[in-house]
Amino acid sequence: MQYMLIAYETAADCALRDGPEAPAYWGAWMAYSKAVAESGIMIGGNGLEPPATATTVRLRDGQRRVQDGPFADTKEQLGGYFIVEVPDLDKALEWAARMPCAATGSVEVRPVLPPPPM
């Protein structure tokens, strides 16, 4: 089954990206990413630029509304995602727990919706 492992990071995590801790921050994510790939379960994934770079669009009553910033202003922000192919949820949770942000932020695990039947 395919699962999306959605990484939520705290503002403090995001700040590590270009502080003095940057090598440790990126090193941990690189190592995780490699472990996923070398275990043969990687379908895809990406890191995302920080939430401040986001722009959110809504159409309401024919009106366009464009807003600076992410969809929801919360303590933890979407930092990236992996899609993995694993036998079941238990295995997906194992990989979620290994994500560097699991210790500070959180990881949401969701099954990928299979394509609709033709």
With binding defined as CB under 8 A, does residue 27 bind other proteins? yes
Task: Write down the least CB distance from residue 50 to other proteins, Å.
Answer: 21
What is the sign of the dihedral through the CA atoms of 105, 8, 32 and 52? negative
Please, are residues 77 and 14 in contact by the beta-carbon 8 Å criterion?
Answer: yes
DSSP letters spanning 82-106? EEEE-SSHHHHHHHHHHSGGGGTSE
By beta-carbon proximity to other proteins, the closer residue of 6 and 36 is 36
Radius of gyration for the alpha carbons in the chain, expressed in angstroms and rounded: 16
How far is it, in rounded angstroms, from Cα 28 to Cα 83?
Answer: 18
CB of 18 to other proteins, least distance (A): 18
Considering the rule CB under 8 A, would residue 21 count as an interface residue with other proteins?
A: no
**Is position 36 an interface residue for other proteins (rule: CB under 8 A)?**
yes
Q: Mask of contacts with other proteins, 69-88, x by CB under 8 A?
A: --------------------
Q: Binding residues for other proteins, per CB under 8 A?
A: 24, 27-28, 30-36, 38-40, 89-90, 93-94, 97-98, 100, 102-103
